[in-house]
């Protein structure tokens, strides 16, 4: 068992992607995929299959973190969710007992669709929504056509084939009329941006390793009796040229989406390499590199200040309140720092309970001391804002450029020496490096534990 759990929901009647197997347990393409992702992320997986409408509402109301089976393009229920990169694609098509050759032939016909799915929204663009009836499950959709209650059903191709196979229905077939090419993804709760990035990272890794292709072949390419392209063309000879044009359009759309996804992945990976995953601030490696570049520049801004912040007694917070509450406090402190400094300043997390800031274009020591005092006061208020009974404060060591150094290593060493002096003299304060106590620090043993 891991410390973290993600709560995932999916459609219970969405074979071959998510459904209940013969033993009553969740199975399918998406179920196997999310299980691998959770295992790689080292989190517990709480998976629940329900109706599609309930699954969507569970994410929107915060009862679940992720919904599987969302549509990148067609799903009009995706408002309020963040979408992962596309996983696979499937054709949304029309099924019925009678053959048709165009969407126009659906006018006046009774059409069955599933609730909260993009199908009805797409049919609305053809002004067919008055003829649509929504059902909770795909089984109910196809049973309504089987019974004659409706004339046609709109469904993803592989899902429709699987449902018809399960119902042992032979007189309902795909008409060959394509409504849309769907690109499937996972929908993530809109306040879970960090979770979205983690899932996308795992999807990229699984795709590079060939696992996505393997699952596609296992569940969609083999488990469903997909009609071959030559057989389809022979059955619908009059639509050959229409389909060729459609394929070209779909390929263009696919390439466009692939390029957009690649750019998004590149941006995501770059952000992950540069930011601290807990706080969203610059991580040590990136901030140090950025600060080094700034210090080497020949800017007219004569003075800069490097501040190192250490949260006092933070180990006691973790020991008494737990690491989850401790992480919440660190996030709040990061927010304080983010709001307190300008966009031109560099704010980062060193690791643990330590942060650092490079202030640019400072007017003098008074300017830096005023800001340090402001930060000390704001950190003291963090616990009460989080509803905690603990009390935290911060100690700040400061070094000025060019007085105390003109590169990161020099400034960091002097700011760290100033920080030690603050910690040794009661904590909860700030100090600008001075040669007056540098000699004293050099001969003293550093007995104070940095929390």
Q: Any idea which residues carry the catalytic annotation?
A: 353
Count of CB atoms situated within 10 Å of the CB of 392? 25
Contact 17, 219 (CB under 8 A): yes
**Helix (H) or strand (E) segment spanning residue 57:** helix 52-60
Residue 43's contacts (CB-CB under 8 Å, 6 or more residues apart) are: 2, 4, 5, 6
Residue 399: phi, psi to the nearest 5?
A: -130, 145
Q: What is residue 406's three-state secondary structure? A: coil
User: Measured between alpha carbons, how far is 166 from 159 in angstroms, rounded to an integer?
Assistant: 11
Report the DSSP beta bridge partners of residue 19: 13, 27
Q: Which of 36, 63, 31 is nearest to 49 (CA)?
A: 31
Residue 247 has what DSSP assignment? H
Phi/psi at 393 (nearest 5 deg)?
Answer: -140, 180
Residue 305 vs residues 130, 372, 406, 431: alpha-carbon distances, Å: 67, 11, 11, 12
Rounded to the nearest 5 degrees, what angle is found at the Cα of 88, between the Cα atoms of 73 and 78?
A: 30
Integer Cα distance of 186 and 59 in angstroms: 11
For residue 309, what are the β-bridge partners? 355, 396
């Amino acid at each position: 068992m891991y410390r973290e759990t993600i709560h995932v929901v999916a459609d219970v009647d969405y074979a071959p992607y998510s459904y209940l197997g013969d033993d009553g347990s969740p199975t399918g393409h998406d179920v196997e995929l999310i299980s691998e992702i959770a295992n790689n992320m080292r989190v517990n997986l709480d998976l629940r299959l329900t109706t599609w409408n309930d699954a969507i509402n569970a994410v929107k109301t915060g009862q679940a973190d992720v919904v599987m089976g969302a549509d990148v393009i067609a799903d009009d229920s995706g408002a309020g969710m963040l979408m992962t990169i596309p996983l696979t694609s499937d054709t949304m098509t029309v099924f019925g007992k009678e053959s048709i050759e165009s969407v126009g032939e659906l006018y006046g016909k009774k059409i069955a669709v599933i609730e909260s799915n993009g199908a009805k929204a797409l049919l609305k663009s053809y002004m067919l929504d008055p003829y649509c009836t929504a059902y909770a499950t795909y089984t109910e959709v196809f049973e309504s056509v089987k019974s004659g209650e409706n004339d046609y059903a709109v469904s993803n191709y592989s899902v429709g084939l699987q449902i018809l196979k399960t119902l042992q229905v032979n007189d309902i077939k795909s008409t060959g009329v394509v409504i849309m090419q769907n690109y499937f993804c996972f929908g993530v709760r809109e306040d879970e941006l960090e979770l979205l990035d983690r899932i996308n990272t795992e999807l990229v890794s699984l795709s590079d390793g060939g696992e996505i292709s393997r699952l596609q072949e296992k569940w969609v390419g083999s488990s469903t009796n997909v009609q071959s392209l030559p057989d389809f063309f022979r059955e619908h000879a009059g639509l050959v040229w229409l389909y060729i044009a459609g394929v070209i359009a779909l390929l263009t759309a696919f390439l466009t989406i692939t390029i957009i996804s690649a750019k998004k992945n590149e941006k995501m990976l770059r952000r992950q390499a540069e930011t601290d995953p807990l706080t969203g601030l610059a991580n040590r490696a990136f901030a140090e590199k950025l600060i080094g570049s700034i210090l080497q520049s020949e800017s007219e801004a004569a003075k800069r200040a490097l501040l190192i912040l250490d949260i006092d007694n933070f180990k006691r917070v973790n020991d008494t309140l737990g690491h989850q509450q401790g992480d919440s406090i660190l996030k709040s402190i990061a927010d304080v720092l983010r709001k307190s400094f300008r966009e031109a300043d560099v704010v980062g997390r060193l690791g643990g309970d330590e942060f650092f800031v490079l202030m640019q274009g400072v007017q003098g020591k008074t300017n830096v001391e005023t800001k340090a005092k402001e930060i000390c006061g704001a950190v003291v208020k963090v616990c009460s804002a989080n509803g905690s009974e603990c009390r935290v404060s911060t100690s700040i060591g400061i070094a000025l450029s060019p007085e105390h150094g003109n590169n990161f290593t020099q400034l960091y060493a002097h700011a760290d020496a100033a920080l030690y002096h603050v910690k040794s003299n009661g904590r909860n304060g700030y100090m600008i490096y001075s040669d007056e106590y540098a000699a004293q620090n050099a001969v003293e043993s550093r007995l104070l534990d940095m929390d």
